[in-house]
Structure 1
Amino acid sequence: MHNTDTARDTAASVDTTGMENTDNLAEALAAAREELARLRDERLRERAELDNQRKRMSRELEQSVRFANERLLSDLLQVLDSLEAGLSAPGADAGKLREGIELTLRQLEKVTADNGLVAVDPVGQPFDPECHQAMSMVPADGQAPGTVVQVYQKGYLLNGRLLRPALVLVAKDSEG
């Protein structure tokens, strides 16, 4: 009988342990589900924040592109005002008109220089195909072959990058 009581006690012990394990597993499952829900919510919030940030950056980029020339155009308003004033001056003589145009040109050159535009006027310099476009080669006494002797149209660099090459005449060897 003693064996039967031991078996019965063992079965009862296993039953109690099994219930405790089931309760522990249920609690662990509930905790895991709560953690999963929390992580999903966190991921959803982070995704929404990233999406909002992406939209905000897109709007800012669009605004900066739309108004990139604002400073330049604001500076050019003085030049426009000077040109309009010169054109509206009654009976201006040629000397005064020329003086006004020269002053306006200096204003325009200052505005362009302040915004990173630099003229390329290479007379007397060696021909550089990176910055110059040769229109023709001409004999030029006193100039080394390959030297720019005349500029038809100035070239321009914008913040160190070629915007427009200078159109030039280049000295050729007087023998050729």
Structure 2
Amino acid sequence: MQDQENQEVSQQPELDTAAAAATEAAQAGAGQAGVPPAGESDLEAQLSATEAKLAEMHDAFMRAKADAENIRRRAQEDVSKAHKFAIESFAEAMVPVRDSLEMALKVEVQTVESIREGVEMTLKQLSAAFEKNRLLEVMPQAGDKLDPNKHQAVAVVPSEQEANTVVTVLQKGYMIADRLLRPAIVTAAAPK
């Protein structure tokens, strides 16, 4: 029994020490409740900086989005204008040709030579207008290889030429730059 009392007495100081330590910790925590730990103020500063950067990035994004929308709208307007005024250059080149034809009709006394001279001058104007606007003739020569991308054979005729070559040109063809507008109408040599 005395052993039991000795144990109780020896445990009492340990309990008093543990209770005192807990009380001190509680008081220390309560005393610092109004003061944030050192790491918390750093987090608040980082949060503020991140929020400011986010606002800046959002503003930059909205500006870039508006710029992209403006560029898209301007491009659509440019395409619309290009479609609407696509033949403007060609029309400008054709107006003098029309003027020449109208002036030729106003001449009261015409001779065959004056008519021929006027037609030749008008044809030169027309050819210059075609050249300026890259409207090119497709005029194959007799003996040229038949090109189905540029020529349309309407007849195959016996000939001394190699097969599938142009014999005669019935009508010139035309190209706009690299695009075929109208194929040349030709007759082709028949296979022997």
TM-score, normalized by length of structure 2?
Answer: 0.75
Aligned partners of 2:101 and 2:189: how far apart in 1? 38
Q: CA deviation at 1:172?
A: 2.0
Q: Which residue of 1 aligns with 2:12?
A: none
Shift of 1:149: 1.8
- Determine if the alignment matches structure 1 residue 95 to structure 2 residue 116: no
Does 112-121 or 65-74 show the bigger shift? 65-74
Structure 2 portions without partners, runs of 5+: 1-16
For the residue of structure 1 that corresponds to 2:25, the secondary structure is helix
How far the C-alpha of 1:156 sits from its partner, in A, is 1.4
Aligned to 2:71, the other structure's residue is in SS state helix
AA in 2 matched with 1:158: I
Which range moves more in the overlay, 108-117 or 143-152?
143-152
Match of 1:43 among 58, 61, 67: 61
Q: Aligned partners of 2:121 and 2:177: how far apart in 1? A: 25
Residues 2-151 of structure 1: matches in 2 within 5 Å?
3=21, 6-7=24-25, 10-12=28-30, 15=33, 18=36, 21-124=39-142, 125-140=144-159, 142-151=160-169
Q: 1:11 to 1:88 in 2, by over 3 A?
A: same
RMSD: 2.7
Q: Distance in 2 between matches of 1:30 and 1:43?
A: 20
CA distance in 2, matches of 1:163, 1:84: 28
Q: Which ranges of structure 1 fall in alignment gaps of 5 or more residues?
A: none
Q: In the aligned structure 1, how far is the partner of 2:111 from the partner of 2:70? A: 62
Q: Deviations over 1:130-159 (max 9, x none)?
A: 21111111223x433322121111011222
Percentage of matched positions with identical amino acids: 34
Q: C-alpha distance in 2, partners of 1:43/1:172?
A: 69
* Residue range with higher mean Cα deviation, 36-45 or 148-157: 36-45
Change beyond 3 A, Cα 1:28–1:143: closer
- How far apart are residue 24 of structure 1 and its match? 4.5
Report which of the two structures shows the higher radius of gyration computed on alpha carbons. Answer: 2
